[in-house]
Amino acid sequence: GNSVTQMEGPVTLSEEAFLTINCTYTATGYPSLFWYVQYPGEGLQLLLKATKADDKGSNKGFEATYRKETTSFHLEKGSVQVSDSAVYFCALSDPLNAGGTSYGKLTFGQGTILTVHP
Amino acid sequence: NAGVTQTPKFQVLKTGQSMTLQCAQDMNHNSMYWYRQDPGMGLRLIYYSASEGTTDKGEVPNGYNVSRLNKREFSLRLESAAPSQTSVYFCASLSLSLMNTEAFFGQGTRLTVV
């Protein structure tokens, strides 16, 4: 079945440092890939997404590129802020079926806790 | 546009009690999900529904039942709550197609079983 593996956390950085959170996946076909962020005490928010190989998702200074050849979707940010402290989840959805819609299953990685210090 | 709405936000149950967590979305999404989130375990899929009228088991379905009442609503029922079901529960909906990919989560239900 589908699976998502994220780098072990927690990750602790100083403000303005470069961030990479690794994510690799196992799936058949071409799943859509997502990064979600969860701030303390809140639900999950979609951070960015990519639906096909070589697509780059970006939002709020974060970027991730869908790499089919390495089955990866690593999250990067050039300069983190204290306000970026949160838990980050990589996820994938089932590949599109012949009708162009999804079978529906959404699978998450275990989450990576990021703490940014001033 | 409310997005995904979950109720209740907090609940305390005694062992053996039953309850239903409600979830509704107003975005016309086909797929809906129930997850539980536990410390160090990430999000684990309990049940999902790829479309109205269909439901499928996820990774941890034991002790739960679901109903996809219509396209908007997807409820999760605990028939006889156990302390192991103490967790934070999230409902989500996803619309995935060639033209548009959107996925949204509710704010969560913090459930404690004593």
Q: Which conformational region is residue B53 in: left (phi greater than 0), alpha (psi within -120 to 50 degrees), or beta?
A: left
Whose tokens are 């103490």? That residue is B86
Q: Prior bond to B8 cis, omega within 30?
A: yes
Q: In this complex, which of A43, A100, A108 lies closest to B107 when CB atoms are compared?
A: A43
From A26-30, A79-83, B5-9, the region with the lowest mean pLDDT: A26-30
Interface of A with B (CB under 8 A): 32, 34, 36, 42-46, 49, 51, 89, 91, 93-94, 96, 100-111
B38 touches chain A (CB under 8 A): no
Q: Which helix (H) or strand (E) covers residue B41, if one does?
A: none
What does each of the 114 residues of chain B score in pLDDT, given as a tens digit? Answer: 579 999 999 999 999 999 999 999 998 888 899 999 998 778 899 998 988 888 999 889 999 999 998 999 999 999 999 999 999 999 998 876 655 566 788 999 999 999
Q: Which pLDDT score is estimated for A107?
A: 84
- pLDDT tens, residue by residue, A59-78: 999 999 999 999 999 999 99
- The SS3 assignment for B22 reads strand
- Look at B105 and A109 and tell me if their CB atoms are within 8 Å: no
CB A33 within 8 A of CB A64: yes
B34 interfacial to chain A (CB closer than 8 Å): no
For B54, phi then psi, to 5°, come to -125, 140
Q: Which residue is associated with the tokens 């961030």?
A: A19
